[in-house]
A and B are shown apart, each in its own frame.
Chain A
Amino acid sequence: MLLLETGNRILESTILDRIAAVANGDKLDHVEIMAADFDGVQFHVHTPTDNKALLQVSVQTKCGANLLQFGNAHLQSVYGSLLQGSAEDGYDATLHVDLTTATPDIAKKVSLLKRHLLALPFIHVFDAIDKKAGLSEIITIPYRDQEAFYIKPEGDRVIVIFDIFFKDQDDIVFSKVFLQEFQDARRTIQNAPAVTFSQKEPPLELRGLKNTHSGESHGFVSFVLFQAHIGAKSREKVLDLIQTFRDYLHYHIKCSKAYMHTMMRNRVDSLLQILNRAKPEPVDQTKRTMSGKTFKRQ
């Protein structure tokens, strides 16, 4: 499975299990679950009141304020009455799920809570471009401790720039190999977004912006999304994928390091076999006399 899953499986299975329990007529228990997702996002699922059929799901991100400044119209359109007016203390958004009336569809929607929350700034920019509203300012979303992504509308296209931090210096070399392939993929895949990357210094599009990180361990990847990607037909898929690009990259770098270890381990085994050929076979040192007595020569 190459692509990362968009929904959160913990949320989905929690709700699905409880829906099945309700259908069976089983008794429901109190729930208290703290779950995590990519990019430091935390979920809190619990039963707030004595009514065990009412489940409260809250999500918390590092950049909640930045995201919600674009208004939660999109969240309202997706979740309707499930969305609560004010979020739980310390969280960015809260949903109430009635397990007696919930369907698997609703479970799927709830599992996509993080995805919908993070899509808010993108939708704001995409809509503005559709309406030709002429936005030009760069939106900064610091979604991780030392990393951020920037959305820059430019005419009829959008440039999304990721600032990726690499803790391990070797990862930078691996990422160069991977990102070179991303850049070259345009040759074979028509309509792919244009990808460029640079290291250390932020790209020209970010010149003049305050608070940008730079340094040996920072890499910058720019995606240019064209009309075809912003339009209603592909928009949902694009929103799914662009949010977790940084995680996708790191995940595959780690996978190739793990594969490397497997190859090295196999090679070590074969080398040891060759070395063992150098050891002479132990000679059997048991000697016998004519009458049958045996003694072993140590």
Chain B
Amino acid sequence: MASGSAAPAGGGGKQRNYLNCIRATLTAAMCLENFGSQQVERHNKPEVEVKGNKELLLNPIIIARNKEKVLIEGSINSLRVSVSIKKSDEIEVVLAKRFMRFLTQRAENFVILRRKPIEGYDISFLVTNTHTEKMYKHKLVDFIIQFMEDIDKEISDIRLSVNARARVVAQEYLREYQ
């Protein structure tokens, strides 16, 4: 399994470059068409999950930026995207775990979300040809990119609010001792 990695350009747009690279790869990988199962008659399975025939699968790609990375596995009728979130300390590990559990419990609402992440990653998406038939491809890619940005922002927001709350709680309590 070959894996390619994109080197981020220097300067303030590092995050931008990273996300643009992912966007380009996703747009290319999201060319899906209906393909019945070659193993079982009349069955139609996402080939990237089944991995039955080598000729139907594309080379997986990992796009990494320090600790955060994205694994994109393509096939003829389905695409699997796995995201690993950047976690700088203990509290972010706990918050990320809780947030991901919260989201995967609502996987039905999110349609393209996978209930269990792939080993080594925090959350996974599974996009099949049925989804691309019902929804605009470029909007789906938009959604995944927006999702990644939003998770990072949300975790840092929650972490800031916990710190702020801790400060207020501590001061309120100790102020009374004066």
Q: How far is the CA of A112 from the CA of B147 in the complex (A)?
A: 52
Q: How far is the CA of A193 from the CA of B167 in the complex (A)?
A: 16
Q: Which chain A residues lie closer than 8 Å to B139 at the CB level?
A: 277-278
A133 at the interface (CB under 8 A from B): no
Q: Which of B139, B140, B143, B173 has the most CB of A within 10 A?
A: B173
Beta-carbon contacts of A243-268 to B below 8 Å, as 1s and 0s?
A: 00100100010011001110110011
Neighbour of B147 across the interface among A177, A263, A271, CB < 8 A: A271
A280-B175 CB under 8 A given contacts A170-B98, A268-B103: no
Q: How far is the CA of A263 from the CA of B159 in the complex (A)?
A: 11
**Nearest CB to that of B175 among chain A residues?**
A189
- Chain A contact residue count (CB 8 A cutoff): 48
Q: How far is the CA of A271 from the CA of B142 in the complex (A)?
A: 11
A274-B143 CB under 8 A given contacts A181-B167, A260-B95: yes
Contact across chains for B166 and A2 when beta carbons are under 8 A apart:
no
Which bracket fits the contact residues of B? 35 or more
Q: Which chain A residues lie closer than 8 Å to B97 at the CB level?
A: 170
**Nearest CB to that of A279 among chain B residues?**
B135
A185 at the interface (CB under 8 A from B): yes
A272-B110, A277-B143 provided; 9 other pairs, C-beta below 8 A? A2-B168, A181-B163, A190-B178, A191-B178, A268-B109, A271-B143, A274-B146, A275-B110, A275-B143
B-side interface residues toward A, CB under 8 Å? Answer: 90-91, 93-95, 97-99, 102-103, 106, 109-112, 134-136, 139-140, 142-143, 146-147, 150, 154, 157-158, 161-163, 165-178
A-side interface residues toward B, CB under 8 Å? Answer: 2-3, 170, 173-174, 176-178, 180-182, 184-186, 188-193, 195, 228-229, 234, 237-238, 241, 245, 248, 252, 255-256, 259-261, 263-264, 267-268, 270-272, 274-275, 277-280
